[in-house]
Structure 1
Amino acid sequence: MSADALSSLFALSNRTIAITGGARGLGLTLATAAVEAGSHVACLDVLAEPAPEEWEILQILAQAAGVSATYRRCDVTSEADVEAAFAAIAGEAQARGSELAGARMMRVNAAGVFITAKHAARTMIARGVKGSIVLVASMSGQIANRGLFCSAYNASKAAVQQLGRSLAQEWGQFGIRVNTLSPGYIRTAMTDDLLAAEPALETFWMAGAMLGRLGVPADFKAPVIFLLSDGSRFMTGADLRVDGGHCAAA
């Protein structure tokens, strides 16, 4: 396979990627990855505005790539909010003549994941568009985290993984692939605050760090682009765990 042919498998040109949790942290990092891969991005989050410095950088990248990056305040647990957001995103994509692909970067509860995925698929099916939906789960959907009291969180992430498998089975007939991405421990502003408040947690986290470090948001750019692109065209109903070996060391 030539380098150009291989590169084309991971290209996202002429697509629109919708990203929930896109105001900051991992969601905004993944929006950057999508723009760098050539797609338009529509970021959704319950926050009134995205993180200003990171959003400015994203806009510069989008302008240089000739694509758009938009932001909408959206509560993914609200049917009305999500339906309105996807109607607007689909309208903009159709006006550009681009292909609409759904990318669900979920950092919320199982209900929000289901509502968002449902409206993404409904929009795609109505327009006869095939594509990829990625649900962000967590390695915590498969393990119990030592040093943390997070049973509800872990249960919700296990639900996301099972939801991904079930939706893949239901929507494959429409050419819609559904996979989950399960990150390990990630250093973000939020986790830094948690570790500052509870320093002992880092000892637990580092005990399973086979590579001698925790993850950073940039570690998940290539994995999510892989799941969204044609490079994973025969992959659906799967969970891609990117945890630095934590689960293997448990």
Structure 2
Amino acid sequence: MANMLPRTAGSVLPRITARFSARCLPVLASRRLPSPLSVLSVSKPANAGGAQFYRELHQSQSYKSHEPPARSTPLPELFSLRGKVIVVSGGARGVGLTQAQGLLEAGAIVHAIDRLPVPEDNGDFAKVAARAKNELGTSLTYHRVDVRDQKALNEVVGAIADEHGHIDGLIAAAGIQQETPALEYSAEDADKMLGVNVTGVFMTAQAVARQMIQRKQQGSLVLIASMSGTVANRGLICPAYNASKAAVIQLARNLASEWGEHGIRVNTISPGYIVTAMTAGLFDAFPERRTEWPDANMLKRLSYPEEYRGAAVFLLSDASSFMTGADLRIDGGHCAW
């Protein structure tokens, strides 16, 4: 390679190398470079032992703003939601109502929001609300609001926070589904899908987080995504729905990165195929799915809404105090093949 250099360059390089060696190497040799361990401990006071350093860190204001649960807290208490105020969007029926029931059983005060009429005639909702009051010593309250109506959403969430003096968590379960081939999708249908499943989830999380930040309190937000946000479902033609759930997963990561400094955690739950009234109708229209869907996962069965209650309680409770920006995929191993 030296033969390829111009003659002048070949004569200059040795002189530059010699000059660097004469001037710089003795200086570098006289200086002691820090070890990796000393770099990690640069913030530690010079005269403080490990215990003192830990105490000073623990007592600092910045650390207190993100105070974790006491390490001595008994495990069952970490999972308790007693006294916590939780909002559940899409809580009038289906997966949202089932999640609300699980939160009530863990002690939470639950406010369900949905665009459906007040569910006075909804036997399931009325039963859950009655059980909350008479058996569990808590409450389930219904608010009719469309998650795409930002003004109304902020008013409702603000009133909930004012009523209790705090708001502690959210399950954003409101969502819609539409099975239509991509070439047949209309712009109006795509806008509606993304409006409810993405913008609606975003605005709901924003409304709850705004109340938390104004009151300088920590909290946890759980956005319901789907395994369809990670994979394209074989035989299920839902391009806009799948795109919306992928957006929810990415939205949660970004909200977690922005709101973490306020002590607000944001995670997603990605369910697999669930047996609901909607899927029951699909089985009538597509009988082959009764066997194809269970065969697509490792447990060879479909899931039920009740199987996601524990995950929601975990993410909303202190049991998951160091978990944020994560997707908890519960799909029977569908995506693990």
TM over 0.5: yes
Q: Find the partner of 1:146 among 229, 234, 239.
A: 234
Structure 1 ranges of 4+ moved more than 4 A = none
Q: Counterpart of 1:102 in 2: which secondary structure?
A: strand
Q: Are the equivalent residues in 2 in contact too, given 1:168–1:237 (CA < 8 A)?
A: yes
Point out the more displaced range, 216-225 or 193-202.
Answer: 193-202
Distance across 1 between alignment mates of 2:315 and 2:169: 12
Tell me if the contact between 2:161 and 2:167 (Cα under 8 Å) persists in the aligned partners: no
1:93 to 164, 176, 182: 164
Match among 104, 128, 136 for residue 172 of structure 2:
104
Report the counterpart of residue 82 of structure 1 in structure 2.
153
2:114–2:174 CA contact under 8 A, matched in 1: no
Q: Percent identity?
A: 50
* Residue 160, structure 1, aligned to residue 248, structure 2: yes
Q: Deviations over 1:85-122 (max 9, x none)?
A: 1012112222xxx6533332342410101111111100
Segments of structure 1 that go 5 or more residues without pairing to the other structure are none
Q: CA deviation at 1:178?
A: 0.2
CA–CA separation in structure 2 for the residues paired with 1:239 and 1:171: 17
Q: Which has the higher strand share?
A: 1
User: Do the aligned residues in 2 keep the contact of 1:226 with 1:232 (CA within 8 Å)?
Assistant: yes
Give the direction of change, closer, same or farther, for the CA distance of 1:99–1:46 in structure 2 (3 Å limit). Answer: closer
Distance 2:208 2:143 in 1: 15
Indicate whether 1:66 and 2:137 are aligned.
yes
Question: Tell me, what secondary structure is at the counterpart of 1:194?
Answer: helix
Normalized against structure 1, the TM-score is what?
A: 0.93
CA distance in 2, matches of 1:167, 1:232: 17
TM-score (norm 2): 0.70
Determine which structure has greater relative contact order: mean sequence separation of CA pairs < 8 Å that are 6+ residues apart, divided by chain length.
1
Q: 1:198 aligns with which of 278, 286, 298?
A: 286
Number of aligned positions between the proteins:
245
Could you tell me how far apart the structure 2 residues matched to 1:143 and 1:77 are?
Answer: 27
**How far apart, in 2, do the equivalents of 1:27 and 1:170 lie?**
26
Q: 1:6 and 1:61 mapped to 2: Cα distance?
A: 26
RMSD of aligned residue pairs (Cα, Å): 1.7
Given residue 54 of structure 1, which amino acid in structure 2 is its aligned partner? D
What letter corresponds to residue 129 of structure 2 in structure 1?
Q
Q: Which amino acid aligns with 1:197?
A: A
Gaps of 5+ in 2: 1-72, 176-195
